[in-house]
Chain A
Amino acid sequence: MNEYAKQKRKEKIKFGIVSVISLCLFFTIWYVCTAVLHLKPDYILPSPVQVVEAFIDKLTRTAPDGATIFGHIAASLQVALTGYLLGALVGVPLGVAMAWFRRVDMFVTPLFDLIRPVPTIAWIPLMILWFGIGLGAKAAIIFVSAFVPCVINAYAGIKQTKPVHLWVAQTFGASRKEMLFTVAIPTALPLIFTGLRISLGTAWMTLCAAEMLASNKGLGYMIQVNRSLARADLIVVAMLTIGLIGTIFTVGLNALERKFVKGGRRG
């Protein structure tokens, strides 16, 4: 290993240590404020210990919100992944097509610009009217929320293609299709991944909003029900679970990005 690599490794370890310290500090302060100082009653602000207990309890118990934590996670994941994957599957190719084909750009962009500023939660009522409160409506809302960043970033990514890179391909005799697949898409890949990451975030956030409004299972639903039951411990359990799953997704997507996006993010 050379000096430079060593240096980088050191930086990474340092970063890791500071991150752990920061998390520990957070939980300690939380613990002190609740279990030691009792600043607020337990049903408003539970201590971390209570939250862990509630979590362990929730692994097997369905009361009071109708499902174990796994049941809620499974329900949420099903909705989120269905909507997200559909959004990515439609959004990325559409963004690429809009940026690459002038006709598609002219035809679709005005429509897209009209839809884009509409906040995702504004779609919820309409989707519920159309699809009820089952998987369909929520997946459709997630779809909208995931779709938009995918389109925008894929579009911007393709537009970043340097003319000279296309010219290299063209002078070697590449067809338009080859230019798209061997030059434009590789150029766009970092931004496509940015889009996938952003839309994963918005999809996961929108999921909770959708489940809080219309659902009978899922992490968002769990928060909603436990609010009316004044079970702050279970609310916090659901919130931390949402945070944790979101983090796992991001880490997974980053790993995928490292595998596919080569040569760094420079132009």
Chain B
Amino acid sequence: MFEHIDTSLIDWSRAQFALTAMYHWLFVPLTLGLAVIMGLMETFYVTTGKVFWKDTARFWMKLFGINFAVGVATGLILEFEFGTNWSNYSWFVGDIFGAPLAIEGILAFFMEATFIAVMFFGWNKVSKRFHLASTWLTGLGATISAWWILVANAWMQHPVGMAFNPETVRNEMVDFTAVALSPMAVAKFFHTVLSCWIVGAVFVVGVSCWYLLRNRQKEFALGSIKVGASVGLFAAVATAWTGDISGVQVAKLQPMKIAAAEGLYNGGNGMPFTIVGDLKVPKMLSILATHDIEGYVPGINNLLEGGYQLPDGTTALSAEEKIKRGQIAITALDAFRKAHKAGDETTASTARKTLDENVEYFGYGYIKDPSHLVPNVELTFWSFRIMVGLGGYFILFFIIVLIMSKKEKLAYMRWLQQAALWTIPLAYIGSQAGWVVAEVGRQPWAIQDMLPVGAAISKLQTGSVQLTFFIFLILFTVLLCAETGIMLKAIKKGPEETKNRK
């Protein structure tokens, strides 16, 4: 794509980012999910006074602590990569995220340092209610952090509330609310956070079923399962619902992603939803993507060829036209900067006008061939099916677990206990598949329509990116082994009962 940039450098930079992001994402969902479940358990303790709930909450808090300790700060590596490997991108967007991310860092740090300490050290030292508030605030702190990061991600998927300043070559925030509350960000936040609750819930139910399989800690396991599966069912239904909202947003703002996720080359009105192969649900894609049974959904070819009517009544441009306008924008940027430097303000202002008129296609100027605008269809298509398929499975799973636990049969159903144990990895797979859809499906863009990955990366030696890729692979694998080892040990040990049950 870029003659000045080795394509293997692009690939390795992307692989490195994907590796670190995916490893980081192994830790995040459990933090967010367990926070809610242990918060509820402690609430039961405070409202009913039953020490059973205190012991139960404490056990899950211990696992939360292990996951938190191993996972905390792994996300900072992504920040390092922005500075080193994605320096053009960082400069280009810096002003938008500099301040909010700094505030987020400070706020989250103080919130977590204070409330986590009370949560772990404060039993018997602070009042029950203050302790309970600290537990909830620990989870809230983590969720607020997630919100900021997802706002940043949503902005890359759909840049709003900013203006490109050719003098500084940066995007500058013009409307904070538009950035922080963009519909893309809101949809992403709810879908992501609720899907994390599924992971937490599946984890709690799965681990509890392990105790049942071993005929240990029955009361504790069944109590945990009730809370876990209830949170899980709520979260699974809400995830499907918010996923649907996300789908409509994506169809509107990133139609290529939906076309790839559906493997749809030639679109039209009243399009069916492909389950797999020729198995299709009539009209379903139109309903999902546009909430209109006859709604028009463009396919990959339509998106490249243009010529169809957009919802606002205008006609879609072809990829070639967009590329041409992108090139005009970039040439105008060059002209502006040269004229401005030479003090020729008349030429500069004409160039700036041309730039402003074409800036929405800026990134297309880097695209050498329209085919480069198509993401990896296979990967997006299958990841989407894995996520949505598992979404349906989780709903069913939690319903069965809840019914069986209500009928008091769960303790004897070994197949269901086994299934619950095996559902743990599926929850992680579903969650990772979601990110694959969101991130692979938006290629080649680092920032939608503004900056493709090839223009966003730093001109480094491919070898040095490869080296750090493998360093991370080793480092994160060691961390993951540490997590799994310590976690399994804690699970085997089981919950500790408060000796003096008062």
Q: Do A and B bind each other?
A: no
